Structure 1
Amino acid sequence: MSAAVAAQATQAFPKAVLFDLDGTLLDSAPDMLAVANLMRAQHGLAPMPLDDLRAHVSKGSRAMLGAAFPHVDASERDGWVQQFLDLYERELGLHGAPFDGVEPMLAALEAAGRPWGIVTNKPEYLARKLMPLLGWETRCAVLIGGDTLAVRKPDPLPLTVAAQQIGIDPADCVYVGDDERDILAARGAGMASVVALWGYRLAEDDPIAWQGDVLIDAPSDLIEAGAWPATR
């Protein structure tokens, strides 16, 4: 056995993995589209196609409202955020699903005895309501939402708090996300990072420029321990 093959054979999964939710574990764009089109119908507008909204999902409700109502002033759209969230709560989990390969990847981590958790900018109450719908309520070791703490990503605090809650040093964790603020948060927390290329990105986004530790094309690629970045 060559040294390279031997090294890969003994490569272990990280001690813990934290994930972004929307655009990383969960393809929630269809749920978001249902909400956007309900609101567009209320304003007498035709439905918008999924492709026009998909890239904005990881940027949050304000960005999605901007894509759905580009002709409306941002200050007025800001007043619609709570309505967007209320409608999303109704549509939660009805249209979206985990990305292909996510379940086998999570199963591989669990088989290796590695805890995994979620750090998202989605409001915590909405993220928690999703967990039983996905069958993750007892599998997810920690969940930090965008309003759990006083700050959210790209601030690193949510990641460091998540690591503390599962009892793993941040330097021994990996964070996986599809947005630049995910990678910035990981770097600030002292965590290795994975850029999820399967997620939601605007045309002008350059994931290479984010300088994550590894760029991965599909969740199924992470079933192999050797695909993960090295930790401390």
Structure 2
Amino acid sequence: MIQAVIVDVDDTLCLTEAASFALENEVLAAMGRAPMSRTVHLATWGEPLLDAMPKRAPDLDLTRFAALYQSALEQYIADGRLDVIPPENLRALDEFVLAGRAVLLLTSRTEAEVRHMLMPDHVLAGRVSAVYHGGNTRFRKPDPRAFDELLAATGLPPGQCVYVGDSPGDALAAGGAGLHFIASLQSGVRRRADFDDRYVSAYVEAFPDIVGVVERLDRTVPSPARGRRPRQSTK
């Protein structure tokens, strides 16, 4: 049985690429830098922010960018311009909770970038049992070891977990760790052809569709074999 549904944040739980593109260019403008192109942003989308920014804006002062970015991020969130989770996505999470499945988040964001989601008054409170991010995991996707802390804390076998994400890196990490993987194509940033089918249990066009997919996985799909890159222990 699928015991845990693990969800990526960006362009999976909520659609964020376009808003993030605008936000990062606002910060670049405040630093007197030229804006990045959307093509460059899309090509590096899914990478941790401070890993991606030198490619988006070469020779960028990352320390100054990070400081300005955090302030701008908080304003975007306060204005409802970023990290807005649609009601239908929340209802999907509720269905998992009612079915007795654990709901967790795993993202490459830093702790500062997800801190607002950890607040007791956030809409995810009571729905998500744990959040794994750059502050409490040692490895980042597409490394399968990104799931090490989560699997150790839950004590669940990988085959009883499903990860929902939007990128080929998400699929590679999940498949390499032995988890089922559902590819969400809702953002339109990626297509089926971008993924290696060996690591994908199912594709969905909208996030709420994952409820039915998980139910079908329970009935019909054996535990996935680990991918080419075996998960290595961090112990």
What range is the shorter-chain TM-score in?
Answer: 0.7 to 0.9
**What is the match of residue 145 of structure 2?**
157
**What is the match of residue 201 of structure 2?**
213
**What is the match of residue 95 of structure 1?**
81
What is the deviation of 1:106? 0.7
Does 2:60 align with 1:76?
Answer: yes
AA partner of residue 28 (structure 1):
T
**TM-score normalised by length of structure 1:** 0.74
Match 2:157 to one of 159, 164, 169: 169
Deviates more, 1:30-39 or 1:198-207: 198-207
RMSD value, Cα: 3.4
AA partner of residue 108 (structure 2):
N
**What is the match of residue 190 of structure 1?**
178
What is the deviation of 1:86? 4.5
**What is the match of residue 123 of structure 1?**
110
CA distance in 2, matches of 1:99, 1:205: 27
What is the deviation of 1:191? 0.7
What is the deviation of 1:175? 0.8
AA partner of residue 77 (structure 2):
L
CA distance in 2, matches of 1:61, 1:99: 24
AA partner of residue 107 (structure 1):
D
- Return closer, same or farther for 1:210/1:79 CA change in 2, 3 Å cut-off: farther
Does 2:165 align with 1:180?
Answer: no
CA deviation digits over 1:73-114, x for unaligned, max 9?
2x3364555233453244336313125731221111111111
**What is the match of residue 49 of structure 2?**
61
5+ unaligned residues in a row in structure 2: which ranges? 224-235
AA partner of residue 82 (structure 1):
A
CA distance in 1, matches of 2:154, 2:192: 36
**TM-score normalised by length of structure 2:** 0.74
What is the deviation of 1:165? 1.8
Aligned pairs for 1:3-82 within 5 A: 14-29=2-17, 31-43=19-31, 53=41, 56-62=44-50, 65=53, 72-73=57-58, 75-76=59-60, 78=62, 81-82=65-66
CA distance in 2, matches of 1:34, 1:206: 25
Check whether the contact 1:32–1:57 (CA below 8 A) recurs between aligned residues: no
- Return closer, same or farther for 1:227/1:219 CA change in 2, 3 Å cut-off: farther
**What is the match of residue 91 of structure 2?**
104
AA partner of residue 155 (structure 1):
D
- Return closer, same or farther for 1:48/1:151 CA change in 2, 3 Å cut-off: closer
Taking every aligned residue pair, what percent have the same amino acid on both sides?
A: 22
Check whether the contact 1:23–1:178 (CA below 8 A) recurs between aligned residues: yes
5+ unaligned residues in a row in structure 1: which ranges? 1-11
SS of residue in 2 equivalent to 1:32: helix
